[in-house]
Amino acid sequence: MPSVNGGIAGNTNRHESIMADLLSMEMPEEVVYTANSSVAVIALNRPSEKNALDERLMLGLRIAIERVKAAPLLRVVFLTGNGPMFCAGGDPKGFQRMAAAGPSANHESAVEFAEMLKVKRA
């Protein structure tokens, strides 16, 4: 978490660092990302678990969204789920792990999730 003294610049630098890290990561098998110059498809890929959100699927979503943000020519993004269900919501096993992680880890995870959802275009 950025220090209070870091202010807005600290948050921006931290986000840029996280974005660079995510762009260099390999996509987990829990998410399938395909794209051409103007259209991207992000598919949740845990059909046996009804595409319930767990840590690896969330990581895959974060990577996919950073790839979308880094592709200025993309105009359309489809979000879909493999199997008969789009997404059952959060994985209860993941909730148990996060509860055990404590408030600080939960707060950091929530902040990172919110940052992931921000899309900035020129």
For 21-52, the pLDDT digits (tens) are: 888 899 999 999 999 999 999 999 999 999 99
Domain residue extents for the chain: 27-117
Class of domain 27-117: alpha beta
> Could you report the per-residue pLDDT of 86-122, keeping only the tens digit for each?
999 888 887 788 778 888 887 887 787 777 777 655 4
| pTM score, whole prediction | 0.74
Beta strands in the chain (DSSP E): 31-35, 39-44, 76-81
Strand-pair category, 76-81 with 39-44? parallel
Q: Distance (Å, rounded) from C-alpha 19 to C-alpha 25? A: 10
Burial of 19 (0-12, 13-18, 19+ CB in 10 A): middle
Strand-pair category, 76-81 with 31-35? unpaired
pLDDT at 74: 94
Q: How many helices (H) and strands (E) does the chain have?
A: 4, 3
Closest among 90, 78, 84, 71 to 43, alpha carbons compared: 78
